[in-house]
Chain A
């Protein structure tokens, strides 16, 4: 028996960053909005209590805030010749769960993708010719950097990002990122005070002719009141960001920037611990009637709504589209179908330098407190003589010195015992690490679809991830790792190690929760699932918001662009869609 609930103007699936932004914007428009969230309610003082928020065993090792595989897992394989198997535990990436979503447990790196990302196919074709892109399925996003500027700005001011602009309206800014696109104004807050490791990294890279700058951080350098009137505190540099909720109201999240206002609105409601099973379409499959969901007692509800916004984690958005029959599933054999297309990840590598005479005090840290070099990112450098496209940001961001998991030791150290203990003592304070966060470009064979064998507790097929690092990306990462080796040598430590990215994506060791694509935006309904406003080409009263819309992944953390896309979509709905509801904003 399904209980049919009173109609709402808008139903939002998932109350994380994008769901909260859309809910705020659309309730401002006067719409009656309900958000349905699979996980629990979470708030700062009640759930990230200062007395236990920094429990590394509970949150970092046992991963208390994350999605559990018993609730939803994915199956994975490296290519279509293999049979995918379900992940019995999350490892390579860690999807969020509950109100605030992954925005609760992030580090806070807040980047803008560049115009050369949004126009990537045109940009690279113009500069290097079409041959260079062979084997890659690179596509334009359907928007441009200038179109997105205001949306980026609003997300940064919502969050209170600490950083230094490199380019304000075309004027280069000393100390900022010289490779960034023009922005209208500086960050709302100045950069965090640097700790020793990034300070040294900046000195060394600068001496090599590179252009280090403070990483834009959602860890607040000063107290801040955002445009919604919500106050936040100054980061205490406790070093418990990623995998943790912030107890100090000093890391931007839905909880610290939107919910105090949103939750008071009479035209907003959230239903937590409620899992959406599918979006229900009309008989023709062209209009969403609402969503069907279950609460924890197993009771099934139908929530009718005029609009459905999929604001879950990107992978879940794609799965819900496939389960609901929104759009055509991508077929890597024919290249047809858009849902599941252009799944991308992140191509990372890392380096460690071991010193004898330095003390970095790694426990004084914040998730995004560091320095970045973008000289080798995206298309900031000439790829003319190189055998790849793409690049990586090189980051020295010592996010923490937590006692269980931060145990750097030089190569050759035993894995346990007296000598291991001795090595961890001497290396803990005197090791500097930095990493590359590399772009991930789409190929025909990397995609998402429904698994033919494995199902969840409700009998719905799991999402299947077919992915391996493309050859182009491996070449890119190796080349960037060579540059990192140059940097590591220049530090002049006793010893250094560079850990390179190899082919054969392994779902076990943690790498990155930057899963992108699958419901990508674009100008052509044949090759994209949503239009430039993140509106489904096939079911125009459905919008799909998140990193699922990325047509490729850049060498940057995705959250800044995800937040900007949420504002971009909200604008399109408020200014255009609501005048002709149910109609496509872009003719197919």
Chain B
């Protein structure tokens, strides 16, 4: 904020008084709007390392092809984007071609950002110019040969990338269109939540139907009643995005971070728009698989482990308690096709995010030291197939591979 005030003062000093006032107020509005674009896009999630100065470069991203380090995007001339022009920035957001024609990897979600309007991109640029410049050289490209050849992205783009601004659907409401714009564009929800092709591109036919990345399973967030958010009301979804918790679940992992840095700071109208849009997406078959019976392998041991270790918080009935213990009964997260996130939560524990309306930050303790891979597989199989839940059993090997990540 201090930077904004400074730039306004400078502007006032350079121009005739009347003009300066008009100019300053426009710039101010543009910068404030741009800051909101940065919230919608959650730039900080990748470009700010924990404890570092904002946007000065992030922690390495693990991709199936190798490591990429999100660059410094502060206006520092030597190591940031201080010598970029607005046109450079616009081209990068729209096409994935950066300064000096360097092709970006789609870990930078330009396939989503290309949907953004020119004015939103321009505002974002105006805001980024006000961020404190930080000297922090980052070599983004840590990929092994041949993926480290940026020119290969030319071919990738030909196959996977379609440039173009979001086109509203005139059949739908303004609210739906706003939601679709945020989800497909700046919010880039599909970057985590859409399954990927072997080339790492979003599978458009399975948009937002759940995907695995960095050791988490980003769940189905379509309106699917079984595995998506079809069982949630609009208010449930808004409350979740705003606070990190609702009566169905409490956010963990990368989503908790996204809520803290991004969705909890979005306007109520935008959250409602997102909810309207997500709930309208048909996401795969609604049919419920057959739940495993109590005599199936692992179910009996799982029940015993559950009552011994989990029920004190999550309840004998799996209903949990509001704001503090997530419900397991009826939870879509619990019934995803992959149990990767569940295994990780049991192994490592997880702490809820702090938002102004959900301050408790309750934490799931780590139980990896106490439960064997077999026991974790059994207890997860049990919670995925009890209280009306139904999902494939969890294999010991799934838990093993989750543990190996540690």
Interface residues of A (CB under 8 A from B): 43-46, 49-52, 223, 225, 228-234, 236, 238, 247-249, 260-261, 264
Pair A260/B363 contact, Cβ less than 8 Å:
no
Pair B325/A233 contact, Cβ less than 8 Å:
yes
Pair A223/B321 contact, Cβ less than 8 Å:
yes
Q: How far is the CB of B8 from chain A (nearest CB, A)?
A: 25
Return the contact of B324 from the options A46, A231, A236 (Cβ within 8 A): A231
* Chain A residue, CB-CB nearest to B370: A51
Specify which chain B residues have a CB less than 8 angstroms from the CB of A50 in the assembled complex.
309, 312-313, 365, 367
Q: How far is the CB of B398 from chain A (nearest CB, A)?
A: 21
The complex places the Cα of A256 from the Cα of B183 at a distance, in Å, of 36
Specify which chain A residues have a CB less than 8 angstroms from the CB of B365 in the assembled complex.
44-46, 49-51, 247
Q: Is there a chain A Cβ closer than 8 Å to B323's Cβ?
A: yes
Q: How far is the CB of B67 from chain A (nearest CB, A)?
A: 29
Pair B321/A51 contact, Cβ less than 8 Å:
no
Q: Is there a chain A Cβ closer than 8 Å to B233's Cβ?
A: no
B363-398 contacts to A, CB under 8 A, are 363-367, 369-370
18 contacts between A and B (CB under 8 A): A44-B362, A45-B351, A45-B363, A46-B363, A50-B367, A51-B365, A51-B367, A51-B369, A225-B323, A230-B359, A231-B362, A232-B324, A232-B360, A236-B312, A238-B312, A249-B324, A249-B362, A260-B360
5 nearest A-B residue pairs (beta carbon): A45-B363, A231-B323, A45-B365, A49-B365, A51-B370
Specify which chain A residues have a CB less than 8 angstroms from the CB of B363 in the assembled complex.
43-46
Q: Is there a chain A Cβ closer than 8 Å to B317's Cβ?
A: no
Return the contact of B354 from the options A45, A52, A249, A260 (Cβ within 8 A): A260
Q: Is there a chain A Cβ closer than 8 Å to B322's Cβ?
A: yes
Specify which chain A residues have a CB less than 8 angstroms from the CB of B323 in the assembled complex.
225, 231
By secondary structure, the B interface counts as loop
Q: How far is the CB of B315 from chain A (nearest CB, A)?
A: 9
Pair B364/A45 contact, Cβ less than 8 Å:
yes
The complex places the Cα of A397 from the Cα of B364 at a distance, in Å, of 30
In addition to A51-B365, A223-B322, A234-B321, 10 A-B residue pairs with Cβ atoms within 8 Å of each other are: A45-B364, A49-B366, A51-B369, A223-B324, A228-B359, A229-B358, A229-B359, A231-B323, A232-B360, A260-B354
Bin chain B's interface residue count. Answer: 20 to 34
Q: Is there a chain A Cβ closer than 8 Å to B157's Cβ?
A: no
Cβ contacts B294-325/A at 8 Å (1 or 0 each)? 00000000000000010011000000011111
Contact A233-B313, Cβ < 8 Å, known A45-B349, A45-B351? yes
Return the contact of B360 from the options A52, A230, A236, A247 (Cβ within 8 A): A230
Specify which chain A residues have a CB less than 8 angstroms from the CB of B312 in the assembled complex.
50, 236, 238, 247-248
Contact A260-B367, Cβ < 8 Å, known A223-B321, A231-B324? no
Q: Is there a chain A Cβ closer than 8 Å to B26's Cβ?
A: no
The complex places the Cα of A247 from the Cα of B357 at a distance, in Å, of 23
Q: How far is the CB of B95 from chain A (nearest CB, A)?
A: 40
Q: How far is the CB of A231 from chain B (nearest CB, A)?
A: 4
Specify which chain A residues have a CB less than 8 angstroms from the CB of B360 in the assembled complex.
229-232, 249, 260
Specify which chain B residues have a CB less than 8 angstroms from the CB of A261 in the assembled complex.
359
The complex places the Cα of A234 from the Cα of B351 at a distance, in Å, of 19
Specify which chain B residues have a CB less than 8 angstroms from the CB of A248 in the assembled complex.
312-313
The complex places the Cα of A43 from the Cα of B366 at a distance, in Å, of 13
Specify which chain B residues have a CB less than 8 angstroms from the CB of A232 in the assembled complex.
324, 360
Q: How far is the CB of A289 from chain B (nearest CB, A)?
A: 32
The complex places the Cα of A248 from the Cα of B313 at a distance, in Å, of 6
* Chain B residue, CB-CB nearest to A259: B361
The complex places the Cα of A233 from the Cα of B366 at a distance, in Å, of 19
Return the contact of A229 from the options B322, B357, B362, B366 (Cβ within 8 A): B357
Specify which chain B residues have a CB less than 8 angstroms from the CB of A45 in the assembled complex.
349, 351, 362-366
Specify which chain B residues have a CB less than 8 angstroms from the CB of A49 in the assembled complex.
365-367
Specify which chain B residues have a CB less than 8 angstroms from the CB of A236 in the assembled complex.
312
Pair B309/A231 contact, Cβ less than 8 Å:
no
Specify which chain B residues have a CB less than 8 angstroms from the CB of A231 in the assembled complex.
321-324, 360, 362
The complex places the Cα of A223 from the Cα of B313 at a distance, in Å, of 11
B338-362 contacts to A, CB under 8 A, are 349, 351, 354, 357-362
Return the contact of A233 from the options B321, B358, B364 (Cβ within 8 A): B321
The complex places the Cα of A249 from the Cα of B362 at a distance, in Å, of 8
Specify which chain B residues have a CB less than 8 angstroms from the CB of A44 in the assembled complex.
362-363, 365
Specify which chain B residues have a CB less than 8 angstroms from the CB of A234 in the assembled complex.
321
The complex places the Cα of A261 from the Cα of B357 at a distance, in Å, of 11
Q: How far is the CB of B317 from chain A (nearest CB, A)?
A: 12
The complex places the Cα of A232 from the Cα of B323 at a distance, in Å, of 8
Specify which chain A residues have a CB less than 8 angstroms from the CB of B358 in the assembled complex.
229
The complex places the Cα of A249 from the Cα of B361 at a distance, in Å, of 11
* Chain B residue, CB-CB nearest to A44: B363
Specify which chain A residues have a CB less than 8 angstroms from the CB of B351 in the assembled complex.
45
Which of B322, B351, B359, B366 has most A Cβ within 10 Å?
A: B359
* Chain A residue, CB-CB nearest to B313: A248
Q: How far is the CB of A263 from chain B (nearest CB, A)?
A: 9
The complex places the Cα of A51 from the Cα of B358 at a distance, in Å, of 26
Specify which chain A residues have a CB less than 8 angstroms from the CB of B325 in the assembled complex.
233
The complex places the Cα of A381 from the Cα of B349 at a distance, in Å, of 54
